[in-house]
Structure 1
């Protein structure tokens, strides 16, 4: 396409007037990949974005080619772009004769900033990705800077939307607020996209696709089962839990939601137990100095009601005391201390190939 630097300046001013963000303020890209309504991906190439209109005309004249003039470009009453071309840009050039190039430089700066955000988006998606595809850890998103969070959500949306639709500021603000709340929720977005979140995950999927199974726990166990330390236990539904004793390096290891680093002294006779919750269960959450009713704690932690009876609790063999709620929190009394040279490492994993 033969867009020139003047076309770029007009596009930028038009986008700013309509409330464009960082990406839009960067103007048109030299190469842009789009998806057509028939789901074909094509490249739009604009090799003349640094060329002025006059330079293009001079080049054509040298080749004895007459430049085509579109009469609609003179109609500034009907077309917003023409009002910018014939009324606004001349006023800006009265203030700064080099206004066109100044706007182009502004676009280049915005592109650089946008490229930086894209790198942060890529890192955010990589660090919070889970199985299955396009499902991410909510807690990680909740810690992102709003600009990075908005750009990441926009990229997630583009990956599954039916058409080249975009999320506006109202959509993004609502999505960020929903993620921060940690509540289970659904939100229909443009392009046939459905956003779903719970206390652990967020995901976007095409409304016509098969919903992703992101329940982070197996089916109810039905009985109490021993977990050898070290050892591995098949929980069914493609889930396994592993236990190991590891030398601890400097500092307290940072755990992801699906693992815990605990006091190795809680293990008696090289055994722990795995079971589901009981009506009488109480739990001493990390960071609290007293036991609380487990059911009340799960409600306050915004754990989906359908998940609560599926959580494979890790407990002591002698008294059934809860040491770890996988995916949620370890117990205060079972935490790893700086004086411990060996750590008890627990991890729950799901085979993405098994439904």
Structure 2
């Protein structure tokens, strides 16, 4: 066993000489064995070993006695000791979270404090191979996304140093044998047998069956975890190149804007990874409610022919497609209101977005550009009306026979759906649509002209 652990430590660069290591110790078999093991290599590596133990306030005197037990063992084996008591029930109520999550949060806060106080390089935890197998099976059962099935990391940054798990290469049985061989008498937490906790149910009912099929299951799962982590790291690094084409900002609670065409130029595997990286950014890595169904919905949105569509994701995240532009945002859509205002000669109308349309008498039919429109005063009824679209609006286009629906013009011009209800158009007093501002001009009032010319100007400041 010891040879296996030493090889594992060397392979993953977990412990180096002259380091300070904090061991999280509950008093149970795994963490007690870890503390004992670390003290046996203390001289060889010239290590400073510190045991840290937490009373979560959940099991009365028993949990208080656990901390005292750990302190006694640590001092006996030449390690330093830090202990504390935390009020999990109070924190759970205050934060509105579950018991296990509250206990974990407070425990890691204390461990980080100990590391900072002591200047420790490593925080060692006693998770073993059976824990790894349980974790990966639970992840697989809960979520079908490959990103979610990576298991427990061997090493990760924590509190200015690294969190390490030297025993992931061992089975629970091997740790129990280590305790017996070295005369260790760990404390037993009865709550570990409570199958109301999902992990305990997997431990009691699922793992034994799988171990019968493959006694080396824990080794296979650890190798799989390492392989998946390596592959996922490579793919994510490649996917970050795709994110160079995505505009991500913290405006309005977080937003990401991308081009569908550019996004789809990359391989599908990188598109999927980039999608999850974007979600990690927007949700701040708190994306438990996202499932493979949301992934399928997103990619269906990219592939479908409908140019304007939207999706509602958990936490009020909206995914909006407007032709080639895909926007993921927490900003809620503003309530659009219809606009209607009369426009007289020599006057102007200010639109809700601050732009203006003015009307003046002119001595020629001259039109300069798409934001100027001229018509004949004898063929329109005044005052003119500036308003937003209505169902059934049609425009008789210059150079064409017949008329065309304003709705179809918006579609032809690829105007995003969210902009159509606020787009200004001009009619005469009888409702004849003259100008869909900036897009298309009507013909009817310019044939057989007589009388005064009227010129409309649109200005957006």
Alignment TM class, shorter chain as reference:
0.5 to 0.7
Is the aligned partner of 1:69 residue 2:192? no
Is the aligned partner of 1:161 residue 2:283? yes
Is the aligned partner of 1:172 residue 2:295? yes
**Contact (CA 8 Å) 2:144, 2:292: kept in 1 or not?**
no
**Contact (CA 8 Å) 1:184, 1:199: kept in 2 or not?**
yes
Q: Taking structure 1 as reference, are residues 309 and 220 closer, same or farther at Cα in structure 2, changes over 3 Å only?
A: farther
**Contact (CA 8 Å) 1:31, 1:46: kept in 2 or not?**
yes
Q: Taking structure 1 as reference, are residues 82 and 301 closer, same or farther at Cα in structure 2, changes over 3 Å only?
A: farther
SS in 2 for 1:134: strand
**CA shift at 1:14, angstroms?**
1.7
**Contact (CA 8 Å) 1:9, 1:100: kept in 2 or not?**
yes
SS in 1 for 2:169: coil
Q: Taking structure 1 as reference, are residues 146 and 302 closer, same or farther at Cα in structure 2, changes over 3 Å only?
A: farther
State how far apart, in whole Å, the 1-side matches of 2:228 and 2:126 are: 22
**CA shift at 1:147, angstroms?**
3.9
Q: Deviations over 1:129-150 (max 9, x none)?
A: 4899732112223444444333
Structure 1 gaps of 5+ residues are: 35-40, 211-218, 223-272, 283-293, 311-324, 326-354
Structure 2 gaps of 5+ residues are: 1-124, 335-353, 358-367, 374-394, 400-405, 425-438, 440-460
SS in 1 for 2:415: coil
Q: Taking structure 1 as reference, are residues 101 and 146 closer, same or farther at Cα in structure 2, changes over 3 Å only?
A: same
Is the aligned partner of 1:107 residue 2:225? yes
**Contact (CA 8 Å) 2:171, 2:218: kept in 1 or not?**
no
Residue in structure 1 matched with residue 411 of structure 2 by the alignment: 299
Residue in structure 2 matched with residue 94 of structure 1 by the alignment: 212
**Contact (CA 8 Å) 2:145, 2:291: kept in 1 or not?**
no
Residue in structure 1 matched with residue 197 of structure 2 by the alignment: 79
Q: 1:266-345 alignment to 2 at 5 Å?
A: 275=370, 299-300=411-412, 302-304=414-416, 306=419
Give the TM-score taking structure 2 as reference length.
Answer: 0.42
1:5 pairs, out of 109, 117, 129, with 129
Q: Deviations over 1:253-289 (max 9, x none)?
A: xxxxxxxxxxxxxxxxxxxx9756998589xxxxxxx
Residue in structure 1 matched with residue 83 of structure 2 by the alignment: none
SS in 2 for 1:191: helix
Q: 1:29-68 alignment to 2 at 5 Å?
A: 29-30=153-154, 45-48=163-166, 49-53=168-172, 66-68=185-187
Q: Taking structure 1 as reference, are residues 183 and 64 closer, same or farther at Cα in structure 2, changes over 3 Å only?
A: farther
Moved more, 57-66 or 135-144: 57-66
Is the aligned partner of 1:118 residue 2:242? no
Q: Taking structure 1 as reference, are residues 50 and 154 closer, same or farther at Cα in structure 2, changes over 3 Å only?
A: same
**CA shift at 1:185, angstroms?**
2.9
State how far apart, in whole Å, the 2-side matches of 1:126 and 1:142 are: 14
Bigger relative contact order, structure 1 or 2 (CA pairs below 8 A, ≥6 apart): 1
SS in 2 for 1:97: coil
SS in 1 for 2:315: coil
Moved more, 201-210 or 12-21: 201-210
Kindly report the root-mean-square deviation, in angstroms, between the aligned alpha carbons of the 2 structures.
Answer: 4.6
Is the aligned partner of 1:184 residue 2:308? yes
**Contact (CA 8 Å) 1:277, 1:309: kept in 2 or not?**
no
Instruction: Count matched residues.
Output: 240
